[in-house]
Structure 1
Amino acid sequence: MSPLSPTPAESGPARTAAVIPAAGRGVRLGPGTPKALRALGGIPMLIHAVRAMAASRAVTLVVVVAPPDGAPEVRNLIDGHALPEHTDYVVVPGGATRQESVRLGIAVLPEDVSVVLVHDAARPLVPVDTVDAVIEAVRDGAPAVVPALPLADTVKEVEPAAGPGLPEPVLSTPVRSRLRAVQTPQGFDRDTLVRAHGSVAVDGDGATDDAGMVERLGEPVVVVPGHEEAFKVTRPLDLVLAEAVLARRRANDGF
């Protein structure tokens, strides 16, 4: 579908939009193409992520936040791949940090968007049931919602080592049953998310977790069940696993 102009829409029924920050370089996957543009099953991961959001009937707009100098390239890329008819998209240049990029994505949302999803471009295979569960929880009144999974491993809190490869003293062992590994999309009441980005200042590389910013406002955040296929593609081994998941989907479901 053709891209929307990033201007406020006429008033109408409240709707849901997804913001996908994709301005990072993805250095842990090695040099070269930005991580979001790496191929997965012959298609850039970003396209998989956009389609994952558009797979929800509730999502009518996807905002892709591109590298500052790469918005035209990303726009052309999306133009070349089909999206569901009910979904429009906007591509905007990103900022120096993820936090700034998300803020820039929020800034172009039409006025009638009341539920906002923020989704990692590096989580290309999140199932639509997870997306819908997040949206439903926000619509039911939660100001912020995150999908998450229980941890399989015991976690240790340590004192960071003074240098690479040095031993790290253990400070504590958190109770594993109380811990969750958080995924995306994270869902928000729009006003709450805008307030968080307008009032929570984070130094250095900025915030990497929008729900954490909402927590700092003192607003409640709730968890819904995540999915094992919503993992983040960060390292080369993750890409191998993602290829295997995608191949299984195509064989079983014609995905």
Structure 2
Amino acid sequence: MSDVSHPPRTAAVIPAAGRGVRLGPGAPKALRTLNGTPMLVHAVRAMAASRAVTLVVVVAPADETQGVKALLADLALPDRTDIAVVPGGDTRQESVRLGLEAIPEGIDIVLVHDAARPLVPVDTVDSVIEAVRDGAVAVVPALPLADTVKEVEPAPSGGPEPVVATPERARLRAVQTPQGFDRATLVNAHATMAVAGGDGATDCAGMVERLGAPVVVVPGHEEAFKVTRPLDLVLAEAVLARRRANDGF
């Protein structure tokens, strides 16, 4: 028997079932195009660019599943990387759970990546995976905040909102994806949240925090921003134009 150890295999789940109403009417957000290519395709390529990723599971809108399968059927990916498409649920939490259920045995590390972050660099993906390999059960890439943040009492009428606190900015981070997890920990977090019957946290790392498990942060990247509003599309196009000019991307 060989005593040569192999690093644990990694799969990436991309929940792409959201409609993205803030981008305006039209196709689901993940299918909006950047430089003529759907954001989802950019996101899949970003995950597959990591040599550690052997499977990408795309969780598509239930009524768009066949169309997404057709979109990705002829996508050129590295030979080491397989792709699967499954229908999503009504919430992001449910969609991630459905993506997790599609991952076969033998894969110990799971990334969860927003389709709306199509331009994350491979170095960021790799740093998240490496931190999980080194023993962290949950890892998030994040950036320090440039702006001062105020905690307010929300005003339902949309009027002026009273400030109740000013958090210390040096202790705050803006979290990005892909978030990386020990598979068993993430499955346990989803199972626990399902039993609790709530929608859960706004990200998978928040669900792991609720288990009492440690979550660590690694440096994020400014190009891993989330495309949420029309102006973000303009910025993403500019990033792609710069990559083409500098790297032939």
Where on the TM-score scale, by shorter chain, does this alignment land: which range?
A: over 0.9
Pick from 169, 177, 185: which aligns with 1:184?
A: 177
Pick from 118, 121, 127: which aligns with 2:121?
A: 127
Is 1:155–2:149 an aligned residue pair? yes
Which residue does 1:110 correspond to in 2? 104
Per-residue Cα deviation, 1:18-76 (whole angstroms, up to 9, x for no partner): 00000000100001100000000110000000000000000010000000111110010
- Offset at residue 108 of structure 1 (A): 1.0
Which residue does 1:5 correspond to in 2? none
Which residue does 2:3 correspond to in 1? none
**Contact preservation (8 Å) 1:55, 1:128:** yes
Q: 1:168 to 1:27 in 2, by over 3 A?
A: same
**Contact preservation (8 Å) 1:17, 1:117:** yes
Whole-angstrom distance in 1 between the partners of 2:113 and 2:234: 21
Per-residue Cα deviation, 1:164-200 (whole angstroms, up to 9, x for no partner): 2x00000000000000000000000000000000002
**Contact preservation (8 Å) 1:97, 1:206:** no
**Contact preservation (8 Å) 1:15, 1:59:** yes
Greater share of residues in helix: 2
**Contact preservation (8 Å) 1:148, 1:223:** yes
Q: 1:206 to 1:71 in 2, by over 3 A?
A: farther
User: Residue 46 of structure 2 aligns to which amino acid in structure 1?
Assistant: A
Which residue does 1:221 correspond to in 2? 215
User: Residue 159 of structure 1 aligns to which amino acid in structure 2?
Assistant: E
Whole-angstrom distance in 1 between the partners of 2:59 and 2:219: 27
Under a length normalisation based on structure 1, what TM-score does the superposition of the two structures give?
Answer: 0.93
- Unpaired stretches in structure 1, ≥5 consecutive residues: 1-11
User: Residue 116 of structure 1 aligns to which amino acid in structure 2?
Assistant: V
**Contact preservation (8 Å) 2:121, 2:221:** yes
Give identity over the alignment, percent.
79
Pick from 73, 87, 90: which aligns with 1:93?
A: 87
User: Residue 78 of structure 1 aligns to which amino acid in structure 2?
Assistant: L
- Offset at residue 15 of structure 1 (A): 0.5
Is 1:193–2:215 an aligned residue pair? no
Which residue does 2:58 correspond to in 1? 64
Give the alignment's Cα RMSD to 1 decimal. 1.3
1:69 aligns to what SS in structure 2? helix
User: Residue 182 of structure 1 aligns to which amino acid in structure 2?
Assistant: V
Whole-angstrom distance in 2 between the partners of 1:13 and 1:23: 31
Is 1:173–2:166 an aligned residue pair? yes
1:192 aligns to what SS in structure 2? helix
- Offset at residue 204 of structure 1 (A): 6.7
Is 1:243–2:237 an aligned residue pair? yes
**Contact preservation (8 Å) 1:25, 1:34:** yes
Which residue does 2:17 correspond to in 1? 23
Under a length normalisation based on structure 2, what TM-score does the superposition of the two structures give?
Answer: 0.95
Which residue does 2:203 correspond to in 1? 209
Aligned residues: 243
Is 1:143–2:137 an aligned residue pair? yes
* Worse overlay, 83-92 or 130-139: 83-92
Is 1:80–2:74 an aligned residue pair? yes
Whole-angstrom distance in 1 between the partners of 2:181 and 2:110: 5
* Worse overlay, 117-126 or 66-75: 66-75
User: Residue 123 of structure 2 aligns to which amino acid in structure 1?
Assistant: D
- Offset at residue 162 of structure 1 (A): 2.5
- Offset at residue 84 of structure 1 (A): 1.6
- Unpaired stretches in structure 2, ≥5 consecutive residues: 1-5
